[in-house]
Amino acid sequence: MIVSALPVAIEDKIDPALLALMAADSQKLLPVIVEMQQPVPPFIGAPNVNRALEALDLLRFNGVPVAALSLIDAAAGFANAAGIDALSLVPTVAFIHHDATVGPQPSAAPPVPPATADQVSGVYPRVVRADKVWQQGIAGGGVTVAILDSGVAADADLVQPDNNRILASVNFADERLTSDPGGHGTHIAGIVAGNGTRSGGEFIGIAPQANVVDVRVLGSKGSGRISSVIRGIEWVLAHRAAYNIRIINLSFGAPATLPYRIDPMSAAVEIAWRRGLVVVAASGNGGPQRDTVVTPGIDPYVITVGATDDRGTLGRGDDMLAWFSAWGSADSNAKPDLVAPGRRIVSLRVPGSALDTLFPDRVVVAQNGATYFRLTGTSMATAVVSGAAALLLAGRPNLTPDQVKALLVGTTQPYGQDSGQVLPDPIADGSGLLNVYAATIAVPCDAAPDPGLLSGGFLVGTLFSPTPVPCANRGLRPADGFARALYPVLFGSPLQWQDPLAGGIFWPLLTWDTLLWNSAAWDNFAWDSVVWDSIAWDSIVWDSIAWDSIAWDSIAWDSIAWDAFTLD
């Protein structure tokens, strides 16, 4: 007698990290993101929403649904090993991801104690020359930075009676009883946009007139999930015009267990980038070892930031690459892109928050008696660069994300000449230390020299060499999830190929109706030929599905406890 074999899971559609968890406990409900194949033409209504709802229905039958993620044609939920196996057999399912924990990344203690007791760093705006930009009359006014983090408290350095610069607050984490239970997000917001009101101007952020929106994606225990971050990015895309959001700050990460091409956070940040948002992400605190950059910092499009130790001094000669600053990725992307001060950075304190309670020794008292807080990590350095991007866009609002990246990365300054430090690798600090003043006066890539006035009265074109900075993000291949999600948007646009004979196929003969939109096509598609400003973005509906399918506070958040945040 012949017995037909039962279908088995399609393992190349399941995240290896998930396979390991399934093997360890086949009955345990595991957090997953079910990503769908691209929709099939003709496209009716909002095809990305329809795909996300299909994924949610599949989770309803094979596990526990949580929420649709229309940004990447996916849904988040929970399933056990049998449910995940069943999901993998559905032809329209592209990949099943582990909905991993994200959060500020902990690190070991310094390898050797500093030779001298370094000062706390309130000088970082001057180290990166932001004060020179303020002298031009540019301080970030009108530009909004989305702070995806643990929340943002209404500190006086951000909120004055006649000027509330926290334009909106939204929550995609556990129940929020206070505005920032962790204290991390407020610290980040202060580095970006604090104006020094409480300290009498002693402790000021990089862009002290910029606005922020509070997009809470990290829970009270200091962690969230990839799905909450993606949902936060969806919200930002839906509200970017209402609040003039130009920058997304991601001062956290998750271990990069997959290449960026498969990684769901990489797909999400690439969509935001192509829609006109500058995404700034932390490299992580896993240094000094190689290939330790976290996701989404592994993505080649975003601006990934490592950290320096400015030693609390204005001079740059004694600065060092921070021992914890992660660098390198398994994809061989040269990360980080640049570095900024990230050790013992003084910013806003949230009294009674988790960090404030755990680390009372990190309270910093200003000369006028006001209290602030110091933290260390690439999280802080990331916020410095987000503030720098806000200054750039305040002066030149028409810059694209690619141009902002090219300006910031292409105008860095040397540091550490007197420190005696030898870098673990020449790529460990990217292009060097941020110099936001140089970035504001440089000529952007893809722009003809245009003598004219910057706001503040500086004449462009006469004070510096008109040679544009090198372009950024050329010749890159996007993440698979990006390619799938953008299929309905790109469909019908001109087809241009890098190699007309790649793989023995005569690509110029293909049309959208005969093209198999898969990895081979994504590898050969001439992505640089797309004019992103002119494509039909209106066919994508952002933020269209409520998160009411399950209460957020019922999710079993993995705990990256704040007390693991051991940096000095």
Per-residue pLDDT band at 551 (split at 50, 70, 90): very low
What is the rounded average pLDDT of the residues 153-175?
93
- C-alpha span between 221 and 224 (Å, rounded): 9
**CATH superfamily assigned to domain 11-103+544-554:** Peptidase S8 propeptide/proteinase inhibitor I9 (3.30.70.80)
Is residue 4 over pLDDT 60? Answer: no
Is residue 144 over pLDDT 90? Answer: yes
* CB-based burial, 8-43: b 16+ in 10 Å, e otherwise: ebbeebbbeebbebbeeeeeeebbbbbbbbbbeeee
User: DSSP class of residue 466?
Assistant: -
Name the H helices within 168-212. 184-193
CA distances from 441 to 314, 401, 450, 480, 546 (A): 22, 17, 12, 36, 44
As a whole number, the mean pLDDT across the chain is 87
Closest CA to 130 of 376, 303, 379, 387: 387
List 15, 85, 149, 318, catalytic entry? 149
- C-alpha span between 279 and 329 (Å, rounded): 18
List 97, 98, 184, 187, catalytic entry? 184
Q: How many CB atoms lie within 10 A of CB 390?
A: 34
The predicted structure's pLDDT at residue 213? 98
- C-alpha span between 216 and 175 (Å, rounded): 10
Q: Is 149 a catalytic residue?
A: yes
Lowest mean pLDDT among 6-15, 142-151, 194-203, 504-513: 6-15
Is residue 99 over pLDDT 80? Answer: yes
The predicted structure's pLDDT at residue 72? 95
- Give the range with max mean pLDDT: 115-129, 224-238, 312-326: 224-238
- C-alpha span between 539 and 556 (Å, rounded): 35
What is the rounded average pLDDT of the residues 538-558?
53
- C-alpha span between 214 and 190 (Å, rounded): 12
Contact 199, 370 (CB under 8 A): yes
For 16, the token pair is 């290896």
CA distances from 370 to 121, 202, 235, 352 (A): 16, 10, 35, 15
Q: How many CB atoms lie within 10 A of CB 492?
A: 13
The predicted structure's pLDDT at residue 9? 65
CA distances from 44 to 47, 49, 130, 493, 519 (A): 6, 10, 48, 18, 25
Per-residue pLDDT band at 526 (split at 50, 70, 90): very high
What is the rounded average pLDDT of the residues 380-387?
97
> Residue 296: is the preceding peptide bond cis (ω within 30°)?
yes
Question: Model-level pTM?
Answer: 0.92
The predicted structure's pLDDT at residue 448? 58
Q: Is 379 a catalytic residue?
A: yes
* CB-based burial, 198-213: b 16+ in 10 Å, e otherwise: bbeeebbbbbbbbbbb
User: Domain map of the chain by residue range?
Assistant: 11-103+544-554, 124-437, 480-539
Per residue in 24-35, pLDDT tens? 999 999 999 999
Per-residue pLDDT band at 235 (split at 50, 70, 90): very high
For 44, the token pair is 């009716």
- C-alpha span between 568 and 565 (Å, rounded): 9
The predicted structure's pLDDT at residue 179? 94
The predicted structure's pLDDT at residue 450? 52
For 59, the token pair is 């989770």
**β 211-216/166-171 pair status:** parallel
The secondary structure of the chain in percent helix, strand, coil, rounded to multiples of 5, reads 30, 20, 55
The predicted structure's pLDDT at residue 457? 45
The predicted structure's pLDDT at residue 456? 45
Q: Residues with Cβ < 8 Å from 334, sequence gap 6 or more?
A: 427, 430
List 70, 121, 227, 379, catalytic entry? 379
Per residue in 435-472, pLDDT tens? 999 999 999 988 755 544 444 444 444 444 568 999 99
Per-residue pLDDT band at 259 (split at 50, 70, 90): very high
What is the rounded average pLDDT of the residues 3-22?
75
Closest CA to 105 of 410, 382, 352: 382
Q: What is the CATH number of domain 124-437?
A: 3.40.50.200
Contact 523, 478 (CB under 8 A): no
What is the rounded average pLDDT of the residues 237-247?
96
Contact 188, 353 (CB under 8 A): no
> Residue 113: is the preceding peptide bond cis (ω within 30°)?
no
Per-residue pLDDT band at 115 (split at 50, 70, 90): very low
Contact 306, 336 (CB under 8 A): yes
Per-residue pLDDT band at 388 (split at 50, 70, 90): very high
Q: Is 184 a catalytic residue?
A: yes
Q: CA triplet 369, 375, 380: central angle to 5 degrees?
A: 115
The predicted structure's pLDDT at residue 288? 82
- C-alpha span between 278 and 490 (Å, rounded): 21
Per residue in 33-66, pLDDT tens? 999 999 888 888 788 899 999 999 999 999 999 9
Per-residue pLDDT band at 394 (split at 50, 70, 90): very high
Is residue 6 over pLDDT 50? Answer: no
